[in-house]
Amino acid sequence: MKRNFRIPNLGGASAIILHRPHGVVASIARQLEAIGVTRIECWPELGADAVAADFVFFDVDLGHDEQFPWQPGDAPMPLIALIGSEAPGRIEWALNHNADAHLLKPVGNAGVYSALLIARRAFDARKQLDSEIHALGERVAARQTIVRAVAILEERGLDDEQAYAQLRALAMNWQMSMEDAARRVVAWARDGGRNDQSDIA
């Protein structure tokens, strides 16, 4: 069951507007002020201190990779694309930067609040998914290590169940997890059994 999304309080947040001086900037600035979000206007590029911002609005029409102090797709905060031209190449560029929401130019007197909320939700969901994928990868890698350790122990004439039981016993003796014990067995075998691991015997 999915949990309902709670509308965050944006008051006190900060947003960078990466756009050349233009009426678009003034319109966004007015809406941010009404919401209580601090704005920073900059052009033509973001400084290294931009990583402290809560949101970044960026111009898709004149934007390029060198404007950002991070690699495309690795922004540490939600990005909101400001789109004037819907040329496929420009849209693709914005998508490569993992834009979490967008506003079409010219920006009117509304839309910024919705864009901030949608961007926050999309960014958080993507980061949670990335974290889950990373954790899953670590679990898969750990299981593969356990399989390798069991295979090493089987070379001593044990069957699958006996080798697994021995690995579990080693983990208990060493007071560590099965994964860490498996890594220790694999490292011992990789070293050709030269390290003093008499308790593996």
- Within 8 A by CB and 6+ apart from 117, the residues are 7, 8, 10
- The domain segmentation of the chain, as residue ranges, is 14-110, 132-200
80 contacts 119 by C-beta, under 8 angstroms: yes
Residue 9 confidence (pLDDT)? 83
* Predicted local confidence at residue 1, as pLDDT: 47
Q: Where are the alpha helices (DSSP H) in 41-99?
A: 88-96
Predicted pLDDT at 158: 87
Q: Give the mean pLDDT per block of 10 residues along the chain (201 residues).
A: 70 94 96 95 90 96 95 96 95 96 95 96 91 86 88 88 90 90 89 59 53
Task: Give the integer Cα–Cα distance in Å for 28 and 109.
Answer: 8
Topology annotation, domain 132-200: Arc Repressor Mutant, subunit A (1.10.10)
Would you say the pTM of this structure is higher than 0.75?
no
**Strands, sheet with 38-42, edge to edge from the N-terminal-most edge strand:** 38-42, 14-18, 55-59, 79-83, 101-104
Four-way CATH pick for 14-110: 1.10.8.100, 3.30.460.10, 3.40.50.2300, 3.20.20.80: 3.40.50.2300
